[in-house]
Amino acid sequence: MTNWDKWGLGLSIGSTVVNLIRSNKNKKTAEQLIDDANAILKEARDAVATQRVCTNQRLQELGDLKIKVYETTMNKFCELFFLFKNSQFGMKKLSIKVGKITRKFDIKKMRAELRKCTRLAEIAKSSGKVGLGVGVALYGGVAMFAKTPDGIKIRDLNSSEDKMHATLAYLGGGNEKLGTLKIGGYMLASSITAASFATYSETKATLENAKTQFYSAQQYAQEMDNFKLVLSKTSELSIEYKKLIKRLASRMDEIALAVQELYDNYYKLSYNSMPNKIRRLFNIKVKINCRKYLSDAELKILHIYYTICEELYALMKEQLWDKNNDINPNAQILLDEITNVYQE
**For residue 145, with 0-12 CB atoms within 10 Å meaning exposed, 13-18 middle and 19 or more buried, which class applies?**
buried
Is the pTM of the predicted complex or chain greater than 0.85?
no
> How far is residue 291's CA from residue 84's CA, in Å, rounded to a whole number?
10
> How far is residue 43's CA from residue 115's CA, in Å, rounded to a whole number?
45
φ, ψ of residue 72 to 5 degrees: the values are -105, -75
Q: Average per-residue pLDDT in the chain? A: 66
Question: What pLDDT band is residue 261 in, cutting at 50, 70 and 90?
Answer: confident
> Per-residue pLDDT tens for 103-128?
555 667 777 777 766 665 555 455 44
Q: Is the model's pLDDT at 68 over the cut of 80?
A: yes
Q: Is the model's pLDDT at 202 over the cut of 60?
A: no
> Per-residue pLDDT tens for 264-317?
777 666 666 655 555 545 544 555 666 666 777 887 888 888 888 888 888 888
Give pLDDT, residue 251. 94
Contact criterion met (CB below 8 Å) for 240 and 62: no
Give pLDDT, residue 249. 96
Contact criterion met (CB below 8 Å) for 193 and 185: yes
Give pLDDT, residue 257. 92
pLDDT (average), residues 317-329:
75
Contact criterion met (CB below 8 Å) for 171 and 62: yes
**For residue 209, with 0-12 CB atoms within 10 Å meaning exposed, 13-18 middle and 19 or more buried, which class applies?**
middle
Say how many C-beta atoms besides its own lie within 10 A of residue 181's C-beta: 17
Best CA proximity match to 146, nearest among 111, 185, 177: 177
> How far is residue 2's CA from residue 70's CA, in Å, rounded to a whole number?
101
Question: What pLDDT band is residue 150 in, cutting at 50, 70 and 90?
Answer: very low
Q: Which long-range contacts (CB under 8 A, 24 or more apart) does 219-222 make?
A: 220/41, 220/44, 220/192, 220/195, 221/40, 221/41, 221/43, 221/44
Best CA proximity match to 328, nearest among 177, 166, 192, 180: 177
pLDDT (average), residues 159-180:
54
Give pLDDT, residue 239. 92
Q: Is the model's pLDDT at 246 over the cut of 90?
A: yes
Question: What pLDDT band is residue 230 in, cutting at 50, 70 and 90?
Answer: confident
